[in-house]
């Protein structure tokens, strides 16, 4: 009872703060506010006690392996946490299917020198080890792409894009329709300003895959930073939105990604024509897409963790770590 009343007080405060648009501000400047988040329950997978939850790569899942976090969604998609799947089964399954997995990454401007080499080197150690992998690096300077030694069955392709293309998916669409689309069965699209730190295997593959945002996975739904301006194509109404997904990691089959990129490109074009820009740009449109078309699988924040958040009991094995932000230095 005490815990419930503490939580409801906390929630009331959070809602009040959100009313005045203060919550993001507070978490930015007062680090400790974030630590209170861990008191908010994430919810429990209704299927946790039923051995029904399956994953087309790792077979039967154990949604009860992490009882303190949500391990499935209301529409029955698994949320992949460490311990809920068997990595060996996932590995064998992927080998049996003889898959080629694509990994797309943009490295434009200073991001190339700053991040790409470590990104690729650590991907060689941790990303889909034992599978056939094709890296697709999108850059305006193909000659500057570092020559990272690749393991057997792994290759790197470089695609030239115009420098000013901030919106990645616009430039990814032709690739999906071309060689990338022919070569890869599944594709993961990942930001370059991070490095792999643990096994990121076929358990992360599905028809469509969304990443729970490390900064928001414990926030109450109505506080999530969706676009709320009804004029924007990315707008979600009150009560809409399941989770806040991070645009730094998403993926799926080539067909699903073509639908996603087309949706986001259309939304961005429509907004621009009206002189609008969604709150979190492409990420807002991605969140709208996944609200309308539920992802088949969600990745826990272990798959894209921000070390600034500090230690969390449920983050046992981070697989990808984000670099600290250095916008002033890197952009422009
Ligand atoms: N990016 C890039 N050059 C830039 C800006 C962005 O290559 O000048 C690519 C890069 O892959 C980066 C991604 O776009 O990881 C998203 O940009 P950023 O990481 O700055 O956005 P945020 O993580 O803040 O959403
Ligand atoms: Mn990033």
Please confirm, yes or no, whether 277 is among the known catalytic residues: no
Ligand 1 contact, 192 CB (< 6 A): yes
> Mean pLDDT of residues grouped by 10 in the chain (332 residues)?
73 72 64 73 72 80 86 92 94 93 94 97 97 95 97 96 65 84 96 97 97 93 93 96 97 96 93 94 96 98 94 94 78 54
Tens of pLDDT, residue by residue over 29-75, are: 666 666 777 888 888 887 655 556 888 888 888 888 888 899 999 99
pLDDT of 58 reads: 86
Considering only CA atoms, which residue is closest to atom 23 of ligand 1?
A: 248
pLDDT of 332 reads: 47
Separation of alpha carbons 214 and 48, rounded Å: 23
CA 265 to chain centre: 18
Q: Are the beta carbons of 186 and 90 closer than 8 angstroms? A: no
CA atoms within 13 A on the CB side of 254: 17
Ligand 1 contact, 169 CB (< 6 A): no
Specify the CATH class of 90-324 in words: alpha beta
Choosing from 93, 203, 283, 302, the catalytic residue is 283
Query: What is the 3-state secondary structure of the chain?
Result: CHHHHHHHHHHHHHHHHHHCCCHHHHHHHCHHHHHHHHHCCCCCCCCCCCCCCEECCCEECCHHHCCCCCCECCCCCEEECCCCCCHHHHHHHHHHCCCEEEEEEECCCCHHHHHHHHHHHHHHHHECCCCEEEEEEEECCHHHCCCCCCCCCEEEEEEECCCCCCCHHHHHHHHHHCHHHHHCCEEEEECCCEEECCCECHHHCCCEEEEECCCCCCCCHHHCCCCCCCCCCCCCCCCCCCCCEEEEEEEEEHHHHHHHHHHHHHHHHHHHHCCCCCCCCHHHHHHHHHHHCCCCEEECHHHCECHHHCCCCCCCCCCEEECCCCHHHHCC
Tens of pLDDT, residue by residue over 120-136, are: 999 999 999 999 999 99
Ligand 1 contact, 141 CB (< 6 A): no
Ligand 1 atom with least separation from CA of 331 = 8
Q: Please say whether the dihedral angle defined by the alpha carbons of residues 306, 307, 308 and 310, taken in this order, is positive or negative.
A: positive
249 Cα to the center of ligand 2, angstroms: 9
198 Cα to the center of ligand 1, angstroms: 22
Ligand 1 contact, 193 CB (< 6 A): yes
Q: Where are the chain's structural domains?
A: 1-40, 90-324
Ligand minimally distant from the alpha carbon of residue 320? 2
Neighbours of 84 (CB within 10 A): 23
pLDDT of 177 reads: 86
Q: Tell me the pTM.
A: 0.90
Residues with CB under 5 A from ligand 2 (ion): 191, 193, 248
Ligand minimally distant from the alpha carbon of residue 329? 1
Separation of alpha carbons 256 and 278, rounded Å: 23
12 Cα to the center of ligand 1, angstroms: 35
Ligand minimally distant from the alpha carbon of residue 137? 1
Ligand 1 atom with least separation from CA of 280 = 25
Q: Are the beta carbons of 66 and 83 closer than 8 angstroms? A: yes
Separation of alpha carbons 207 and 256, rounded Å: 7
- 284-303 burial, b for 16+ CB within 10 Å, e for fewer? bbbbbbbbeeebbbbbbbbb
Ligand 1 contact, 304 CB (< 6 A): no
Q: Give how far Cα 320 sits from Cα of 111, 192, 296, Å.
A: 17, 11, 21
Ligand 1 atom with least separation from CA of 107 = 7
Considering only CA atoms, which residue is closest to atom 3 of ligand 1?
A: 108
Separation of alpha carbons 170 and 54, rounded Å: 34
pLDDT of 8 reads: 75
Ligand 1 contact, 161 CB (< 6 A): no
Q: What tokens does 124 get?
A: 């060689």
Ligand 1 atom with least separation from CA of 248 = 23
Among 68, 182, 38, 188, which residue's Cα sits nearest to residue 126?
A: 188
Ligand 1 contact, 111 CB (< 6 A): yes
């Amino acid at each position: 009872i005490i815990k419930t009343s503490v939580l409801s007080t906390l929630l009331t405060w959070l809602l009040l703060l959100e009313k005045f648009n203060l919550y993001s501000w507070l978490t930015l400047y007062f680090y400790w506010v974030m630590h209170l988040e861990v008191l908010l329950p994430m919810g429990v997978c209704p299927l946790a006690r039923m051995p029904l939850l399956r994953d087309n790569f790792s077979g039967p899942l154990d949604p009860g392996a992490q009882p303190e976090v949500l391990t499935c969604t209301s529409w029955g998609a698994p949320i992949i946490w460490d311990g809920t799947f068997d990595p060996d089964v996932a590995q064998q399954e992927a080998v049996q299917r003889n898959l080629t997995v694509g990994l797309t990454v943009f490295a434009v401007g200073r991001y190339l020198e700053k991040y790409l080499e470590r990104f690729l080197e650590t991907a060689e150690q941790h990303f889909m080890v034992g599978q056939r992998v094709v890296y697709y690096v999108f850059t305006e300077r193909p000659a500057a792409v570092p020559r990272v030694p690749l393991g057997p069955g792994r290759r790197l392709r470089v695609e030239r894009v115009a420098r000013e293309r901030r919106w990645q998916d616009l430039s990814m669409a032709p690739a999906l329709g071309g060689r990338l689309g022919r070569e890869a069965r599944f594709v993961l699209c990942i930001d370059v300003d991070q490095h792999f730190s643990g096994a990121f295997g076929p358990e992360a593959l599905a028809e469509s895959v969304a990443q729970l945002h490390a900064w928001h996975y414990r926030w109450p739904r109505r506080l999530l930073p969706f676009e709320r301006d009804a004029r924007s194509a990315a707008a979600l109404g009150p009560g809409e939105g399941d989770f806040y997904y991070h645009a730094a990691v998403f993926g799926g089959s080539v067909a699903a990604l073509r639908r996603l990129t087309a949706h986001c490109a259309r939304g961005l074009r429509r907004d621009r024509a009206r002189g609008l820009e969604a709150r979190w740009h492409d990420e807002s449109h991605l969140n709208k897409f996944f609200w309308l078309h539920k992802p088949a699988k969600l990745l826990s924040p272990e798959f894209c963790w921000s070390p600034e958040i500090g230690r969390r009991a449920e983050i046992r094995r981070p697989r990808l770590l984000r670099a600290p932000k250095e916008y002033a230095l890197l952009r422009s």
